[in-house]
Copies of this chain bind each other. A is one copy, B any other.
Amino acid sequence: MTSGAYNPFKPAPSKTALQKIFPWTEAPLVASAPMRLISLAPLAVEVSKAGGLGFIGSGNDQSNLEETLKHALKLSVEAKLPIVGSKGETFLPIGVGFLNWGADLEYTLTLLKQYRPVAVWFFAPRSTEGLVEWTTKVRETTFGITKIWIQIGSVKEAVEVVKGCKPDALVVQGADAGGHGLNNGAGLISLLPEVIDTLETLVETRNIEQLPTIIAAGGIADGRGVAASLALGAEGVVMGTRYLAANEAQLSPGYRNEVLRASDGGQTTVRSSVYDTLRGTTEWPKEYGGRGVVNKSYHDSLSGMSLEENKKLYDEAVGKGDEGWGESGRLTTYAGTCVGLVKKVQGAGETTKEVRLEADAVLRRLKG
C-alpha cells in the first residue's frame, strides 16, 4: 500500500482497548453526549451502570458542577460502580463535557483534582492554543486518570487537535448531530473514513505517534447507526438525541414530547444560530450553529421578523411551559436528524444495553 492509502485488510485494533481504559464498559462502547443542562448525574450514571460511559454536560458554566459531581459520586457508589482502580487510585466512572469557549479552567481543575472523572470532553474552544492549555493542565492535575476526549467536526480540526493536544479519544461529529456543531459539515459516512485516513498518514509521516481512539457522533440513534459507525472505523459511539427520551434526561415534558413527535429530521430540523440568539446564548464562536426542530421562531426569523419581536414572542412562550414547544411553538427543541428514530421513553440504561444488543445483531446478520 502507498503511504496514507486505506487498507481494509489490516488487523483491527483490539476490541478491548476501550474496555481496558474503562473496565466496567462493554464493547462496542456507547456513550451519552454531555448535553448542557440536560445530561446530569442520573443520566450519566445510568449509562455507565449499563456498561456505557455517561457524560455530564457542564457546558460553559461550572457553577453547578461540584453539586453534580457529588451527586454522581453518590449514585456511583450506590450502583456499586468501580471508583477505585487497580493501583488504588480513585476516580468517578463518568465523564464531564465542557464548552471550552466559556468554561473556567482554574475552577474546573480544582474539581477534577477532587473528583477525577474518567474522562473530560472538550468542544468549541476559541483557539487550539486554549485547548492545548486545558489538555496539559488536566493531564497534570489528574495524573492521567482523566482521559481527554476532544470533539471535532472536520478533517482540518482533527489534524490540528491531534497534533496539538494528543487526545486520548477524538469524537468525530457528523453534520447530522443535534445541538451545536460546525455550521458546515459532512455526515459520518464520509467524514469518519477521511479523518482516519488523514490521521494514519500523519502516523506514517511521523507527525503524530498514534491515532487516538475514534468515537463517532451525529445521527446515531440505534444499533444500526452503531454498527455503521464501526464499519466506518470508529471504536465507540456517542448518542445525544436518543437520550433526550431517557427517563433520566433533565428536560421538560414539552421538549421530550416534541422529540417523540418529530420525524424526517433531514426536513424538519435545521442548523442555525436563530435559537441561540432567542435564548440569549450569544457567545458561541461564529462557526457553530445548533440543530433543532423547525418551529415558529425559525419560520418567523426566515420571513424577516425583527429579532426584537421574535424574542418578545419567545419570552411569552417561555411563560406557557410545556405548551411552548412544538411545530407551532417557539421554545427550542435541539435534536439531530435522527429524531424520527426516537419513539419511546425508557431508562437510559435500558437504551444503552438495547443499542449494544442491536449492534451485535446487525453485525451477526451481516455475517450471514
Which positions in A face B, CB cutoff 8 Å? 5-6, 8-9, 11-12, 15, 153-156, 174-176, 182, 184-194, 197-198, 218-225, 227-233, 263-267, 270, 336-338, 340-341, 343, 357-358, 361-363, 365-368
Contact = CB atoms under 8 A, between A and B. Distances in A.
B361 A8 contact: yes
Contact of A176 (B5, B190, B336): B190
B233 A224 contact: yes
A263 B190 contact: no
Contacts of A219: 186-187, 189-190
A229 B230 contact: no
Given A225-B232, A228-B232, A230-B366, A156 B186 contact: no
A154 B267 contact: yes
Contacts of A366: 12, 227, 230-231, 363, 366
A220 B362 CA distance: 19
10 nearest interchain CB pairs?
A: A187-B187, A186-B266, A186-B337, A190-B338, A227-B231, A228-B228, A8-B361, A155-B264, A190-B219, A189-B219
A343 B326 CA distance: 45
A62 B271 CA distance: 38
Contacts of A5: 343
Nearest to A13: B365
Contacts of A232: 224-225, 227-228
A224 B8 contact: yes
A55 to B, nearest CB: 20
Contacts of A12: 365-366, 368
A186 B265 contact: yes
A232 to B, nearest CB: 5
A365 B263 CA distance: 34
A190 B231 contact: no
A89 to B, nearest CB: 32
B340 A231 contact: no
5 contacts: A6-B224, A8-B223, A154-B264, A182-B266, A194-B340
Contacts of A187: 174-176, 186-189, 218-219, 266, 337
A40 to B, nearest CB: 26
A263 to B, nearest CB: 6
A302 to B, nearest CB: 12
Nearest to A12: B365
Contact of A231 (B6, B153, B154, B224): B224
Contact of A6 (B222, B266, B270, B368): B222
A76 to B, nearest CB: 30
Contacts of A194: 263-265, 338, 340-341
A193 B222 contact: yes
Nearest to A4: B343
Nearest to A186: B266
Contacts of A367: 363, 367
Contacts of A265: 186, 190, 194
A13 to B, nearest CB: 10
A209 to B, nearest CB: 23
